[in-house]
Amino acid sequence: MNHQQEASIRVGQQMTLTIKSLGINGEGIGYFKRKIVFVDKALPGEVVHAEVTQVKEKYAVARLLRVVEKSKSRTVPPCPVYEECGGCSLQHMDYQAQLASKREIVIESLRKYARLDHPPVAETIGMDNPWSYRNKAQFQVGKQDGKLIAGLYQTGSHKLVDLDSCRVQHEATSEIVQTAKQILGELGIPVYDERKRTGVIRTIVARVAFGTGETQLTLVTATPDIPRVKELILELRTRLPQLVGITQNVNTQKTSLVFGDKTTVLWGKPTIAEKLGDLSFALSARAFFQLNPEQTKKLYDQVKKAAGLTGSELVLDLYCGTGTIGLWLAPHAREVRGIELIPEAVEDARRNAEHNGIANASFHVGRAEQLMPKWAKQGVRPDVVVVDPPRTGLDDALIRSLLDVKPKKIVYVSCNPSTLAKDVSQLLKKYELVSVQPVDMFPQTSHVECTVLLKLRGAND
Ligand code: SAH
């Protein structure tokens, strides 16, 4: 460690910085005495005055005090609780600039980790209206000054921020949450208290199907019984006639996981019908579905384009979740096989295949890094492998197996540019990076999703 340099920055110190770029969490990045400094809510091109709040070996964190020279991309965040809520991180940036910055983040990651000077990264595919895009609101319930509140936690804290309306949520979900909150308060149904482990209501989950307009309300409770449950259901049905089902999920554990194991129907249907392109889905309360359906369709179309199927291919859909990517591709392939770790998701995937009359797709429970090499030993030779891993990226064993099995194409769907770039750098041993297409699945946040095409070197199409 360089002590001289270390001594030159301390907590509480104020400094003026020029912001050079946007970090992976949406913070502005500047340099002070060659040390990287992250400043939350500062934008590239700005000169800001900031106060150091944390000093680490490789970086420092500073709090924005004042913008000295303002970026043209700076906008007034429309959300009244933007500063407190941890849900969004880029509302202070114009949408077109958000899209450009997300592309820059992907380019920078590939430069840094895959050592590519000019990675082939296309313009980010955005939304015409980058608001009201989320199909599910999952709000924690709490008490504030004796009043029932519901919302999200502040970034890095356990303080609940009450959300009366949330601009990135579809209006239908906001209306359900607000009305449910009001009714629960009126009936005096006790809120779960995490510390004392008393009370009943933990979370309100509202979901809307964009394709059909059907809506569903789920109450997550700490106890199997809900006091005044009959009145509750009657009020909900009267004031929210758009609901097709009300379900209860019981989570008795002291945990940060939202859902428990048991879900029961309090009234109506257990599922809502959703449509995406030509596919339809029956979604139960806990079933996973992408949160931004409009952009999901664009993302999956990019996967289809990258895969370039002719109808004769065997496609593997690794980390397949409920099988949506595999089912999207199945009509254009000879056969699709999906692998997913969570058994319930695989059951959903099979049900989804049946529901859509898709007979050439099968779904298997297992670890991608174990099942794919096992199949390879049995002579299974995929033409195209689609991977859509969690933020941690691909397992080393899976990368080795891909380099061994050598499918002609790998289509990598990534929600984390850093792990994507690290994995790509390994795959470059045998693959060429053909295209990278960022898709904005979460406008107003710093998340960026990419569809990446890698082609086996020397393979003909
Ligand atoms: N492709 C899906 C969602 C992918 S999310 C869609 O578009 O909807 C990533 C999925 O990978 C999760 O469902 C997670 O359960 C699964 N997963 C995590 N580790 C895995 C592993 N080692 N092998 C297979 N699946 C895994």
Instruction: Give tens-digit pLDDT for 181-221.
Output: 999 999 999 999 988 999 999 999 999 999 999 999 999 99
Instruction: Determine how many CB atoms are found less than 10 A away from the CB of residue 159.
Output: 12
Same fold, 3-74 and 136-284: yes
The pLDDT confidence band at residue 461, using thresholds 50, 70 and 90, is low
Q: And the tokens for 164?
A: 């009366």
Question: Is 94 annotated to bind ligand?
Answer: no
Q: Are 209 and 135 in contact (CB under 8 A)?
A: yes
Residue 417 has pLDDT above 60, yes or no: yes
pLDDT reported for residue 1:
47
132 Rama class: left (phi>0) / alpha (psi -120 to 50) / beta:
left
> Distance from the CA of 289 to the center of ligand 1, in angstroms?
12
Catalytic residues: 415
Cα separations in angstroms, 76 against 82, 90, 136, 299: 10, 11, 25, 29
Which atom of ligand 1 approaches the CA of 317 most closely?
1
- Tell whether residue 319 is among the known ligand binding residues: yes
Report pTM.
0.93
Reduce the DSSP state of residue 102 to 3 states and report it: helix
Q: Best of 281, 340, 347, 451 to mutate for ligand 1, by most ligand atoms within 8 A of CB?
A: 340
Q: Which CATH class is domain 136-284?
A: mainly beta
Out of 82-86, 95-99, 333-337, 381-385, which region has the weakest mean confidence (pLDDT)? 82-86
DSSP class of residue 83 equals T
The residues lining ligand 1, judged by C-beta closer than 6 Å to any ligand atom, are 290, 319-322, 324-325, 339-342, 345, 367-369, 388, 390, 395
Do residues 246 and 284 make contact, with C-beta atoms less than 8 angstroms apart?
Answer: no
Atom of ligand 1 nearest to the CA of 320: 1
SS3 string, 134-168, reads: ECEEEEEEEEECCEEEEEEECCCCCCEEECCCCCC
The answer to whether 318 and 385 have CB atoms below 8 angstroms apart is yes
Instruction: Output helix, strand, coil percentages for the chain, rounded to the nearest 5.
Output: 25, 35, 40
Domain boundaries, the chain: 3-74, 102-127+292-456, 136-284
Q: How many CB atoms lie within 10 A of CB 343?
A: 10
Taking the C-alpha atoms of residue 426 and residue 343, their distance in angstroms, rounded to an integer, is 30
Span 130-162, pLDDT tens digits: 999 999 999 999 999 989 999 998 877 888 999
* Residue of 315, 320, 363, 367 best suited for mutating to test ligand 1, as the one with most atoms within 8 Å of CB: 320
Whole-number average pLDDT of the chain: 95
Q: Which positions ≥6 away from 331 have C-beta within 8 Å?
A: 278, 358
| pLDDT tens sequence across 24-53 | 899 999 999 999 999 999 999 999 999 999
Residue 30 in tokens: 């500047």
State in Å: Cα 322 to ligand 1 middle.
9
343 Cα–ligand 1 center, Å: 11
The strand pair at 147-153 and 160-162 is best described as: antiparallel
Residue nearest to atom 10 of ligand 1 (CA): 319
Q: 408 is written with which tokens?
A: 């002609």
CB 36 within 8 A of CB 58: yes
Which homologous superfamily is 102-127+292-456 in? Vaccinia Virus protein VP39 (3.40.50.150)
Q: How far is the CA of 364 from the centre of ligand 1 (A)?
A: 12
Architecture category of domain 3-74 in CATH: Beta Barrel (2.40)
- The answer, yes or no, to whether residue 82 has pLDDT greater than 60, is yes
The residue assigned the tokens 């060429």 is: 432
Among 80-84, 258-262, 300-304, 319-323, where is mean pLDDT lowest?
Answer: 80-84
| Nearest ligand 1 atom, CA 390 | 9
